[in-house]
Amino acid sequence: MSSPPYPEDLERPGLVRTGRSTFVRPVRPEDADRLVAFVGGLSRATLAYRSLGPVVRARDDVIRRGAHVDYLNELALVALAGDEIAGLVRYVRDPEEPEHAEVTFTIRDDHQSEGFGRLLLEHIAGAARTRGIRVLEADVLADNTRMINVFLGSGYRVESGPPGQIVHFEIAVDPQAQAVARAERREHTAVRRSLRPLLEPRSVAVIGANRGPLTIGHEIVANLLRGGFRGCVFPVNPRAELIAGARAYPNVRALPEVPDLALVAVRAEAVPEVVRECAEAGVKAVVVVSTGFGETGVEGRTAELELARFARASGMRLVGPNCMGVVNTTPAARLAATFSPALPTPGRVAMSSQSGPLGLAVLDFARRLRLGFSGFVSVGHAVDVSTNDLLQWWEEDPETSVILLHVETFGNPRRFARVARRVAPRKPIVAVHPGHADAAVDSLFAQSGVIRTRSLQELFDVALLLAHQPPPPGNRVAVITNAGGPAALTAGACEASGLRVPELGERTRQSLRTALSPRADVTNPIDLTPMATAAHYRQALDAVLADDGFDAAVVLFMPPLADKPDEVAAAILDAAEAAPEKPVVASFLGDAGVADLLHRGGLVVPTYAFPESAAVSLGHAAAYQTWRATPAGVIPDLAGVDPDRARALVAACVPGTVPARTATDLLDSYGISVRDTGSQGPDAFLSVRPDPVFGPVIAFGLTGDYADLMADVAHRITPLSDRDAREMIRSLRAAPLLDGRVGGPGVDLTALEETILRISAMVEELPEIESMDLRPIRLLSPGHGVAVAHATIQLTDDTRRGGPS
């Protein structure tokens, strides 16, 4: 069959907005390698906006297939920067509506904001029009403002669907065409649909509402009314007529309408019957604030699991038990379904907490910090609705920009790791977890893009920054102070947090010498001296924010006797407002009330009681931004893999350690041979263990003293991309032994990376594998591969896997 004719008429030079020249042409079959390199180099953030997730599960042949189009029903255009692809646009004709086609755009990270999207839209629109396509359709995430602006500013008639997290656009490329807007926007995910009655209910019942104030049920009713809930509030109490001013009803069946949400605050032994009544009435979500379940022992745990099973079977979602309720301050909800005396102010931060009592302190503390919340959910024992579910809700919530987690356990660790890696490129996730503070756990959080903090104080310190300032584009920090001692502490804290405090550039130094007092120290930290005025602060901050050698600024102020902190605060706000792309944080030592001064409209400069907290928060934000901008790599196609054979082998085994022969055959199914070659080089090990937070964790290291005495072991969670496998090996302190920098020619790194990827694929496709130990692995010289000398594989019982979502 002959190849489709290549349309040379679509080859055209172009200029983007920055003046950069480019060449736009249709994709060719020989572009296959360019496409693989293009996809592999995209950052997590770009992949997330393309709705692909932070790690592309792409086989090479699938990516390469994108270079083969028929130029009629499917067309792809590339914009070249040199010999590399800078941008790609593709349309695929709708077979049921031939005059419509779906269009997608992908721009390489280092060429975004240059105008490639608009240029490619112009070219693809013209090509589509000549091929009988009248309307190009695109689904765009609501916070992908760059792509939305491309469509809205294109000059074509553009119609968009109802506002939501995913905005559907129809671009009429034929000026005579009447592009008809889609009747309904894309259906929500199952999780989001199931949580809507919980977080955006139209009516709420409170069962067990007491007449007396300062009781749990009474305070929930009072908070719902005080918080401005727009729907109906139905207190349920057979012995009361009015509760907190609202009419009470004897039971759920007597309510004038079926509520979306019911909060249950009765004795533990009465909860199952109440939940049953709710199910029979058609209630869609239940929050059990009652105690007396899993915290009491085995019987209580059994009772709450049975409660969760019943709720799910009845089509209800259940929060709790032993929780303090749910809060959603967004305009669509205004829901304060909690007994907490401190209700949060509206804001951009959402939080999930597994501790009910802790939640009370959290809301009070956040209010004192002036940290606003879009939502707060106390999941309690999380027998049904879990942190994983809430992550997916807030992922699509346009009112939420930062997500905080207080987590002790995860019902489904595999799911958490995947959801977190999908959400984190777009919305920072900050977690406080009471697990061991070791490098292995830290690396797993970092791989997922989750910012791990050591305390609740640190959690809120980081949230305060991310909610109000952008993450720094790099790790270079300028410190401005009027006192040398605190500045030295700050510089040390910055270095300890992974930040740099570099010297000022000569131009900036000269500018400051002219503007500041002769006694000022214009190095870094910049010491303005105790006689510094608000004008000096403004001049110094303007100078360092304009300097390309700095990514952020920490401002310290020790109030002397004669000066006014409000004037300095105003100067800081002015400078921060003039340079919104770089974060500014402050510490006004000795003045606890200064937090109120560093707010102006929507502009907030986070202020901390101690400068070390400012440095730690900036360090977390800078590391997050580095992760976000780093290409994630791809999960490659692996030759010689036979998953059907592997599944048959697992199905024939009972839980426990599989026979040695079966272990060998399982590995062989994934292209890994078990043989002992008696290597003369270093030996290594690969192990897989279940982690209560992340699910399957792969560990790699050299055997002997490297791992046993030096703890030189790398950890990653599955699935691993090619970049993950490469970085896993190179992160070891013993890496110079492997790559040939010391001690000889090194080992076959390509074969070692591939072995790690094969194990990752095996664990992903065979969830029955609970643990695995390959030890020793003979590392052979370059070109000679690796050999697994011995393998132990443990299978788990199906009933022990999974868990709540």
Indicate the pLDDT class of residue 659, thresholds 50, 70 and 90: very high
From 699, 672, 674, select the one nearest 687 (Cα to Cα). Answer: 699
Average pLDDT over the chain, rounded to whole? 88
Beta carbons within 10 angstroms of residue 177's beta carbon: 18
* CATH 3.40.50.2000 corresponds to the domain 192-466: no
* pLDDT of the residue at 477: 98
**Do residues 512 and 550 touch, judged by C-beta distance below 8 A?**
no
Report the alpha-carbon distance of residue 156 to residue 173 in Å, rounded. Answer: 6
For residue 184, pLDDT beyond 50? no
Per DSSP, the residues of 533-599 read -HHHHHHHHHHHHH-TT-SEEEEEE---SS--HHHHHHHHHHHHHH-TTS-EEEEETT-GGGGGTSE
Q: How far is CA 447 from the centre of its chain?
A: 11
Instruction: Parse the chain into domains and list their residue ranges.
Output: 8-172, 192-466, 469-629, 643-800
Q: What is the mean pLDDT of residues 447-475?
A: 93
Q: With bands split at pLDDT 50, 70 and 90, how would you rate the model's confidence at 51?
A: low
Alpha helix stretches (DSSP H) within 153-232: 190-199, 216-226
Q: Which of 253-262, 392-401, 718-727 has the highest mean pLDDT?
A: 253-262
DSSP character at residue 503? P
CA distance 152 to 159: 9
**Residue range 738-751, pLDDT digits in tens:** 998 887 889 999 99
Model confidence over 492-527: pLDDT tens digits?
Answer: 999 999 999 999 999 999 999 999 988 999 999 999
pLDDT higher than 90, residue 249 = yes
CATH fold label, 8-172: Aminopeptidase (3.40.630)
- Spatial separation of the C-alpha atoms in residues 335 and 351, rounded to whole Å: 15
pTM of the full predicted structure? 0.84
Judged against a pLDDT cut of 50, whether residue 183 lies above it is answered with no
Q: Which CATH class is domain 469-629?
A: alpha beta
**Fold matches, 192-466 and 469-629:** yes
CATH 3.30.470.20 fits 643-800, yes or no: yes
Specify the residue for token string 């999207």.
Answer: 117
Q: Which residues contact 499 (CB under 8 A, 6 or more apart)?
A: 475, 476, 477, 615, 618, 619, 622
Structural tokens at position 633: 């790599």
Q: Quote the DSSP letter at residue 396.
A: T
Residue 647: predicted pLDDT? 86
Q: For residues 549 and 502, is the Cβ–Cβ distance under 8 A?
A: yes
d(CA 419, CA 395): 9
* Residue 410 pLDDT: 63
**Mean of pLDDT values over 750-760:** 97
- Rounded to an integer, the average pLDDT of 473-477 is 97
* Nearest-10 Cα torsion for 456, 460, 466, 472: -70
Least confident segment among 43-57, 346-360, 418-432: 43-57
